[in-house]
Structure 1
Amino acid sequence: MNRKLTTAVAVTFAGALMLSACSSGGSSGDSSDNPDTSGGDAPNELTFMFRGGEYDKLAYEAAIASFEEETGADVTMIITDADQYNTKLQAAIAGNKVPDVFYVDPANMMGYVYAGVLADLSGYVDQSVVDNLWSFGVDAYRMNIETGARGVDGDPFYGLPKDVGPFGFGFNTVLFDKLGLEHPSLDEPMTFDEFTELAKQLTVDMDGDGELDHWGTGLNVMWNSQAFIWGAGADWISEDQKTITVDTPEFAEALQWFADLGLVEGVTPSAEQAQTLDTYQRWMAGEIGFFPVAPWDIATYNDKAANDPENFGYEVIPYPVANEGDDWATWLGSLGIGVSENSANKELAAELAVYLSTDLDAQKTLADGKVQIPNLIDYATGEWIETDAAASGWPSNSKAFLEIAQEKGRPLPMIYTYTPQWYDNFWIGIENVVDNGSQTAADFLAAKQPEMQQLLDQSWISADQAKAQG
C-alpha cells in the first residue's frame, strides 16, 4: 500500500468514533464473516458496502432489486453494523479491495480524496438534480483539492447523500397523558426553564414504592448536548473553522444547565440506575418523558408503540432554547454514497450511487421503509409530507424533520476539518462536569480551549501535508 493511502487510513481511523454520529444504527451483521468487498470484474457486476440494521437491509434490498431490473446490473450487497463498518472499510482499502460503491462519512472524506480512493461524482449528476437535494446533503461531500476548503457551492463533490439525518427531539405522549400534563408545542420551542419545570413534573414514583421510576429525560452529553449549546447561541468552532470558541459565558451556562438537569434538578436517572437500564432502554420502556427522535428511529419506535400502547407513544417537537425568542437548532447528519476511483465498472457504479441518492422511486422506497426522509426537496416538501409520510407511518409532526433539513440543522462541529481529534478532545473529562460535578462548566471550558486549539491547528497542518503529498 502506498504512503498516501496509509496516511489516509490512519487519519480516518482516528475519526472512527464519529462514524456512528449520523444516520442508521442497528445491527444486522455482515453478509459473511469475511466478505469479499472487491469491486466486480464483469461489465455488469458491482459491490455495494453499507451499514445499518434490519430495516435498512430490507429497504435497500427493494431499491437495489429495482436498479438491477432497470439496468441489468448484478449488485452484491455487503452490510455491516455501525460499529464495525469503518474498520472493515479501512481494511478493504488497505487490501486494495475497495467496494465499487460504499458509504462514506463526511468527517473522513478528505483523507480518502487525497488518497485517491473516491471518485469525483460532479460530472454524473445534472445541476437541476443537485439543486433539488438538501444543500447540506451535497455540501458535506464538496471539496476543493487545491485549498482544502469544504462545503463551498460549485466545488466538486466526492459523494452523494445517502440521506440527511435530522436529529430531532420528542416526548412520550402516553406518559404525558398518564400524568395529566399538557403536551408541549409542536411548533414553538420551550425555554430551558420551561423544559426543566416539565421534566420535574415527569420525574415521579409511579408505582408508589418510594423510589423514582419515571424521569423527565436522560440525555447523552456527547450526542445530545449540541442542540442545547447552539440553542444558547454558543458553538465549538468559528465559521472559518480555524478558532475554538468554547470558552464563552453562553457555552458555560448551557453546559452547566445540561449538567444540572441530573446533578441539581434530579430529572434524569442516577448513574447507578443507568447501569441497570440505560436511558434509551428506559425511554423504550415508557419511563422517560423527553428523548431524541430521528428518522432512523421511526420504524423501531412505531413497533414499540404498536406493541406497548399503554406505555409508549411519541411525537416530534423543537429542541429547547435558552431564552424565549431564541432560534432552536440541532445537528443534521449525513452519510454519503461514494464510488471507488479505481472501480472496474466506474460508470455503472456512479449510476448506482446517483440512483440510490436521487431517483424518485428509490427515495419513495427508502422513505416508506422509514429509514430516512427523502433526499428530493420537491417530493419531501410536497407529496411526501402531505400524504405519503402519514400513510407509511411517520409521526404527524414529521415536518419538524424537514424544518431541520431546511434551516434548523447544523453539521456536527468536526465535519469540515481534516481530522476530528480536536473535537474528540472536548469529551475527555466531561464526566467531571456532567456526572460527578467535581468541575464547573466554566473551569472545564477554560482548560479545554487551548488544548482543542492546538489540536485544531495541527489538523490544518496535516491537511496541508496531505495536500502536498497528493
Structure 2
Amino acid sequence: MRKIKGLSVLLLCFAFLLTACSGGNNAANNTKANATAEPAATEAVAEATAEPTAAPVDMGGRVIKVAAWWDLKPAGNSASEKERLAKITEVEQKYNCKFEFVNVPFEEFMPKFTATALTGEPFADIVIMEYNSAWPAILKGQLMKVSEYTTAASNINNEANLLVKAPKIANEDYAFAEPGVGGAGIHYNRDLFKKLGLPDLQELYASGQWNWDKFVEVAKQATKDTDNDGKIDTYGFSGWAIDMLRNFSAANGGKLVDEATSTQGLTDPKVIEAAEFINRLYNVENVVKVKGADKVGYDEFNTFKDGDVAMFPAPIWNLGDLTFDFGVVPFPNGPSGSPEVTYADNGKNAFFIPKGVKDPQAVYQAFEDTYDITQTGDFPSQEWLESIYAHEEDVAMMHDHINNTGQILLETAYPEYPTYGYMKDIIVDNQSVTATAEKYKPEAEASIAKLGK
C-alpha cells in the first residue's frame, strides 16, 4: 500500500465542482502529441492535424456574469489559480469584456434564476445549476443546449481539454464542466478492517469477488460484540437509506425514475431487487448501524464518522474530517448490474447558459478561453483527489474504476416523489417490497405528470 506524500489541499468549493463533474469526458485526458516529424514534413503534418480555432469577438466592454452559490473566482493561492487569473485578464482584453463572478446563497439561487428567467433577462450569463433544478428549467424552455452556443471551432467539440460536455439530460447535451475525475463508491475504514482481520476490499474487487453476496459476508464479519458485553461494538454498514436505494439500484441496472421516458422505476424488478437487498441488510442480517430514531432519516448520512462502521457510502466532499484511514471501491454490482454503471449521480451540477442571454456563442467562447492554461498532473483533478485520499491505490481506483460510471438520476426534481415513504414501508414497517412498489406507483406517476405541466 503506497501512501501519497506532499499533498496539496485545494479550496472546498473546487472540490464541490469537481465532484459534480465526475462524469467528465475521457477526451479531456488526452494530451497533444509531441512534434516529431522531420523538418521537411513538419509544416504538412501541422496543417493536416491542426484543430479549428475560434476568432475573438469584440464584445464592446460587456460584463459577463458567472454565477454559483460559492465564489467561482480563482483565489490565487496556487500556481494554476494565479495562471488562470492572468488568463482571465488576457481574455478580457482580447474580447473587450469583463468577467464578474456572482455568489448567490444556495437557498436564494433558484428563486433568483426563475424570477429573472421568466422576464427573459436571466441574472447571469453562465450559471452553475444542479441537474435536479436544471431539468424543470429545461422543460420550461429556460436553458440552452450546448449546440446552440458552441461552434465547430469550440475546444469542447474538438480536443475538449479546456471544458467538457457534462453528462446528458434526457439524452441531450445542455451543460458543460471543467474536466474532472470523481464519483461515489463504497468507502471502508481501513483501521477497523485491520483490527477485525477483514479482507481488503480492493483485493476482493481485483479478484472479481466484489458482489452483493461478498458485501453481505464482509458486513456480517464486521458486526461484532468485541468486548463480550452483550452489545454490538462494530457494524458492517451505515448510511442514509434513500441514498442506499439510489446507488444499489443503479449498481443493479435499475433507475428510480427515467426522465427521458417520463416513467417511474419503483416497480422495476431491478429496483425491487435492490430494495430487497437493503431490507436484508437492515432486518435480516442486522448489519446496519442506525444512530437516530428514524431509520430513513438523513442524519444517518454521517453515522460512519463515529469510526465503528466498516463500510459506508460517502461522496468525496464528505471525507475531509475523518480521523481514521480509509479506502474506496465501487458499489458492488447486483445480479442484474454491470461495471459500466456503479452508482447514482443524483447531486450533479454543471455550467448552463440560460435562454435570453445575448450573444451566447461569444459568451461561451470567451469563458472557454479562460481555461487555456497549463495542465498540471497526469489527469484532471489529480491534485484534488490526492488531497483527499492518502493512498495511491484509492486515487487509481477512483480514476480507473469509478469515474464515468455514474447514472444521472433526477428523482428529486419531481415534486413529492414518494421515495421516503417507499423505503419507510420496507425497512421500518417490514412491508413486502413488491406490494410497496405497487402502492406507491400511482404517487410516482402523479409526481412525474405534475412536473411536466
Alignment-derived partner of residue 6 in structure 1: none
Residue 315 of structure 1 aligns to a residue in which SS? Answer: strand
Structure 2 gaps of 5+ residues are 1-15, 22-58
C-alpha distance in structure 2 between counterparts of 1:140 and 1:325, whole Å = 20
Taking the TM superposition and a 5 Å limit, the aligned residue runs for 1:60-139 are 65-72=85-92, 74-80=98-104, 82=106, 85-91=109-115, 93=117, 96=121, 98-113=123-138, 117-122=142-147, 123-124=149-150, 126=153, 129-130=156-157, 132=159, 138=165
How many Å apart are 1:326 and its aligned residue?
Answer: 5.3
Match of 1:43 in 2: 61
Larger Rg: 2
Do residues 159 (structure 1) and 175 (structure 2) align? yes
Offset of residue 412 of structure 1: 0.9
1:361-402: CA deviations, max 9, x gaps?
4x75xxx8xxxxxxxxxxxxxx22898677656452334434
In the alignment, the residues of structure 2 paired with residue 355 and residue 239 of structure 1 have an alpha-carbon distance, to the nearest angstrom, of 33
Which residue number in structure 2 is paired with residue 232 of structure 1? Answer: 252
The 8 Å contact of residues 48 and 77 in structure 1, kept in 2 or not, is answered as yes
Matched residues, percent identical? 16
Aligned-pair CA distance for 1:292? 2.4
- SS of the counterpart of 1:190? coil
Q: Whole-Å Cα distance in 2 between the matches of residues 387 and 108 of structure 1? A: 29
Aligned equivalents of 1:218 and 1:55: distance in 2? Answer: 37
**How big is the alpha-carbon RMSD for the aligned residues of Structure 1 and Structure 2?**
4.4
**Within 5 A, what are the aligned runs for 1:27-426?**
43-51=61-69, 65-72=85-92, 74-80=98-104, 82=106, 85-91=109-115, 93=117, 96=121, 98-113=123-138, 117-122=142-147, 123-124=149-150, 126=153, 129-130=156-157, 132=159, 138=165, 140=167, 150-152=170-172, 157-162=173-178, 166-185=183-202, 186-187=205-206, 188=208, 190-205=210-225, 210-237=230-257, 241-270=261-290, 272=292, 278-297=299-318, 300-301=319-320, 304=322, 308=323, 312-323=324-335, 327=339, 329-332=342-345, 334-343=348-357, 346=360, 349-351=363-365, 353-355=367-369, 359=372, 361=374, 364=376, 383-384=378-379, 394=389, 395-396=391-392, 397-403=394-400, 408-412=405-409, 414=411, 420-421=414-415, 424-426=417-419
**3-state SS of paired residue (1:268):** coil
Q: d(CA) in 1 for partners of 2:385 and 2:450?
A: 48
Q: Which moved more, 1:192-201 or 1:244-253?
A: 244-253
With the length of structure 2 as denominator, give the TM-score of the two structures: 0.67
Q: Which has the higher helix share?
A: 1
The answer to whether the 8 A contact 2:255-2:409 is kept is: no
SS at structure 2 position matched to 1:99? coil
Q: Is the 8 A contact 2:252 2:337 kept in 1?
A: no
- Distance (Å, rounded) in 1 between the aligned partners of 2:134 and 2:66: 17
What is the alpha-carbon distance in structure 2 between the residues aligned to residue 208 and residue 62 of structure 1? 57
Normalized against structure 1, the TM-score is what? 0.65
Q: For this pair of structures, how many residues does the alignment match?
A: 381
Cα contact 1:337–1:353 (8 A) shared by 2 = no
Q: State the SS of the aligned residue for 2:267.
A: coil
Residues 448 and 278 of structure 1, relative CA distance in 2, 3 Å threshold = closer
Report Cα offsets for 1:1-56 as digits up to 9, x if no partner: xxxxxxxxxxxxxxxxxx99x739xxxxxxxxxxxxxxxx9825333221359999
Letter in 2 for 1:384: F
